Amino acid sequence: MSVVHTEGESNRAAARLEWNARQDHAPSRDLLERDARAFLHQSLSSPCVATIARAQGIWIEDLAGRRYMDFHGNSVHHIGYAHPRLVGAIKQQLDELSFSPRRFTNETAVELAETLGRLAPRDLSKVLFTTGGSDAIEVALKVARAATGRHKTLSFWDAFHGAGFGAASVGGEATFRSHIAGPMMTGAEHVAPWASRNCAYGHDNLESSARACANMIAYVLGREGDFAAFVAEPMRATPLVPAPGFWKAVREACDRHGTLLIFDEIPTGLGKTGSFFAHAHDDVTPDMVVLGKALGGGILPIASVIARCDLDVAGDFAIGHYTHEKNPVTARAALTTIAIIREDGLAERAAELGAYAMDRLRELMAKSRHVGEVRGRGLMIGVELVDDRDDYQPARDMAERVYYRCLERGLSFKISAGNVLTLSPPLVIGREELDSALAIVEDAVLAA
């Protein structure tokens, strides 16, 4: 079977190869080549763009000793890398109890479930743990089917909810759906997401786009009448912030048509947006919320589904049944991470520093017509690059150039949607470090 690559994919692959060829450190080049030989190749992963030897706080260091501020971190590094309190707690837990088979309970796992139930809004207090966010989405889908007697889901095109077949079916990101032989999971339907500006559909602002999106969701739910769940990120990780009232309209539509609302907070929860739960900004309570990524503190993999009490209806079936479902070590990592976020006021810190960073980046719009928009919440910030603000065409090649210029100067981040510089630093970042990173971005954009 031949695999077709787009021009943009080819350009990005060429940029990666050029970056790798310029590595002036033989051990780094050797490790990158070994990586390319050993791993199955896939978009956004192998082959890699750099090596890593150490990670501490907001910094990662490669084999050559070059240091990078990590403003991506796969969204796991809310409390920074190798937080000493977390490392100590994990070591202590390993000495006390290192594993628990599923059919045996343990104090640490129960304490974590109770803690999440207390933190979640209203009557969301039933919990199940998995080893990753994709699996947690699958659990939420099974619960929704069991509770409603329906199997269909509605979600957004271009959204990512995980790489498993069920999660990728609900997600609408092409990278995780292309070139898969045969059908995805049946019953997974999609609508176009809201956008801050979408000229193709005649929307020139967030409010009109969100209104049209909410109306379409309500229309589809009512027209078909048999959806188990609507699945979405409360704030899209591209990032895209919802318009005021958007989620209230969707919540009302779900209630009218007997559809459960599942919020995926895998990348956006745990304080990243300036609130412990990302949906708290919109004063809407979902029927289930999914957490992951940063829940393990950037060290161990753990995710969680938190559901309404009355959705506990699948006791006769194995809806998770994961080997590490009640692992005391991963549970201790999550408990300690939550404690650090809450006791150190990291959500509030994200709100304060995020507002400062967005104000500064918006000043960049006055200097460059290639900056179409600066948006976000807390320390999840997007800088959208366009050919010109008047025509608003995505500047994907420019985004790639900016990325590599920033990498050369010691700043790593993610590009979303091909042209959005997504800046997501740890919540423990200092003001001086943040200023240094923003200056790197500003210089790279103005030079592009």
- Give the pLDDT confidence of 46-82 residue by residue, as tens digits: 888 889 999 999 999 999 999 999 999 999 999 999 9
DSSP helix/strand/coil, 264? strand
Burial of 223 (0-12, 13-18, 19+ CB in 10 A): exposed
Residues 2-18, mean pLDDT to the nearest whole number? 53
Domain ranges, ordered by start, for the chain: 52-81+346-447, 84-343
Same fold, 52-81+346-447 and 84-343: no
Query: Does residue 8 or residue 358 have the better pLDDT?
Result: 358
Residue 182 neighbours by CB distance under 10 Å:
5
Query: Does residue 83 or residue 160 have the better pLDDT?
Result: 83
Q: How many Å apart are CA 399 and CA 393, to the nearest integer?
A: 12
Q: How many Å apart are CA 364 and CA 434, to the nearest integer?
A: 15
For 30, 49, 51, 65, the CA distances from 25, given in Å and listed in that order, are 9, 13, 11, 10
Give 20's pLDDT tier (boundaries 50, 70, 90): low
Residues 327-352, mean pLDDT to the nearest whole number? 98
Percentage of residues in the chain having pLDDT higher than 70: 92
Of 381, 317, 310, 327, the closest CA to residue 106 belongs to 327
Give 24's pLDDT tier (boundaries 50, 70, 90): confident
For 31, 385, 421, the CA distances from 372, given in Å and listed in that order, are 38, 6, 11
| Ordered DSSP codes for 358-416 | HHHHHHHHTT-TTEEEEEEETTEEEEEEBS-TTT--B-HHHHHHHHHHHHHTTEE-EEE
Contact 161, 134 (CB under 8 A): yes
Q: How many Å apart are CA 180 and CA 160, to the nearest integer?
A: 16
Tokens encoding 13: 């692959």
Q: How many Å apart are CA 298 and CA 74, to the nearest integer?
A: 9
pLDDT at 10: 57
Burial readout 270-280 (b: 16 or more C-beta within 10 A, e: otherwise): bbbbbbbbbbb
Of 355, 331, 353, 369, the closest CA to residue 426 belongs to 353
CATH of domain 52-81+346-447: 3.90.1150.10
Beta bridge partners of 373: 384
Give 15's pLDDT tier (boundaries 50, 70, 90): low
CATH of domain 84-343: 3.40.640.10
Q: How many Å apart are CA 248 and CA 282, to the nearest integer?
A: 8
pLDDT at 102: 85
Give 200's pLDDT tier (boundaries 50, 70, 90): very low
Residue type, 265: E
Q: How many Å apart are CA 417 and CA 384, to the nearest integer?
A: 9
Q: How many Å apart are CA 196 and CA 207, to the nearest integer?
A: 8
- Of 1-5, 214-218, 230-234, 429-433, the poorest mean pLDDT is in 1-5
Residue whose tokens read 């609130």: 275
